[in-house]
Amino acid sequence: MPVITNIQDLKRIHERRVPRMFYDYAESGSWTEQTFRENTSDFEQIRLRQRVAVDMSGRSTNSKMLGQEVAMPVSLAPVGLTGMQHADGDIKAARAAEAFGVPYTLSTMSINSIEEVAEATSKPFWFQLYTMNDEDYVRRLIQRAKDAKCSALVITLDLQILGQRHKDLKNGLSAPPKLTPSTIANLMTKWTWGLQMLGAKRRDFGNIVGHVEGISDSASLGAWTNEQFDLALDWGKIAKLKELWGGKVILKGILDAEDAKMAVKVGADAIVVSNHGGRQLDGALSSIRMLPQIMDAVGGEIEVILDSGIRSGQDVLKALALGATGTMIGRAYIYGLGAMGQAGVTKALEVIHKELDITMALCGERHVGDLGRHNLLIPKDFEGDWQE
């Protein structure tokens, strides 16, 4: 077993063990992938302010996210097809998060269903909702999340229309994978993954198949989903969904100060500053670069979670120091899941936690709640005056 010291180590193992189409699904952005790349590279522009001769004892990364006590202000983001990265991947990621003490978010486009994840875990998790044209299906999906005792509804706002991801099209992405000469050749090199999948509870989309009339296989599912994303989603519909849910609501996909203000206006409990990991609007600014002006607009009025581009505990610290109350990681834990299953997700969380803890100490802080801009050295043009 190789020594795992950082998230990149997990990424390398992930690439070796998981079929190409599912690795590419995780490790790609839309169009030119500019935003996908800048989500991570922009973190590197922010430097840390080292402090010495301070008391580093008694450190704590404990915090709260939506009132929930967490081991560190990090949650696992909703990721579609998680159960294709590793057999029963949604369940294993949820278990790892629960054991570590951080929130897990199940995607609408998960492989394991809401009910399967709820049965396999003992604490409430968050559920992410894509709004669909089939309003009856959406109502039933929300009720299923209620019945499973999900503690928050995460409504994704930035996928009314699908951004083009070239790799997915070229790979013929599907779940389960379609057996073409190229996919068969690749699957033959991933025999460990294949053996695990033979014992999986499910290999299709558990929240959809069997819950929508006429959806029985990947072909019918593909045709349905291509027509279902709600192009007419607006703030009025979001308010109605909040009322229908009746619990805590997180709005994910906020990348503009005006939209952040609207999220406060409709009564959201938290927002996720996110560009969908660079998978939607290519050419948009990175999430970390947009965070300061969103904090200026709504900071103190609503919980703000930073998503997209986080690959280390230092990235988490930088987001918190810029004002975020919490963070979300997607690819970072998916690398671990693809590499080592549940143990890999745990390892990813351990790596990020250790990096956060040690970096916090070397910056002269003992608690994540004390982090602020005083811990950072920010380039003068980082929050530049971008002309509309």
- The pLDDT value recorded for residue 316 is 99
User: What span, in angstroms and rounded, lies between the C-alpha atoms of 321 and 284?
Assistant: 23
The total of other beta-carbon atoms located within 10 Å of residue 383's CB is 15
User: What span, in angstroms and rounded, lies between the C-alpha atoms of 330 and 326?
Assistant: 14
Return the ∠ at Cα 107 (arms to 201 and 130), rounded to 5°.
Answer: 130
pLDDT in tens, the chain (388 residues): 789 999 999 999 999 999 999 999 999 999 999 999 999 999 999 999 999 999 999 999 999 999 999 999 999 999 999 999 999 999 999 999 999 999 999 999 999 999 999 999 999 999 999 999 999 999 999 999 999 999 999 999 999 998 999 999 898 888 778 878 888 889 889 999 999 999 999 998 999 988 887 776 555 666 677 788 899 999 999 999 999 999 999 999 999 999 999 999 999 999 999 999 999 999 999 999 999 999 999 999 999 999 999 999 999 999 999 999 999 999 999 999 999 999 999 999 999 999 999 999 999 999 999 999 999 999 988 986 776 6
Residue 14 appears among annotated catalytic residues = no
Flag whether the pTM goes above 0.85: yes
Query: Is the bond preceding 176 in cis, omega lying within 30 degrees of 0?
Result: yes
Domains of the chain: 7-377 (3.20.20.70)
* Phi, psi dihedrals of residue 11, rounded to the nearest 5°: -60, -40
User: What span, in angstroms and rounded, lies between the C-alpha atoms of 184 and 266?
Assistant: 49
Classify 141 as helix, strand or coil. Answer: helix
User: What span, in angstroms and rounded, lies between the C-alpha atoms of 361 and 186?
Assistant: 45
Residue (of 345, 278, 285, 334) closest to 309 by Cα position: 278
How far out from the chain centre does Cα 44 lie? 20
Catalytic residue among 211, 276, 353, 367: 276
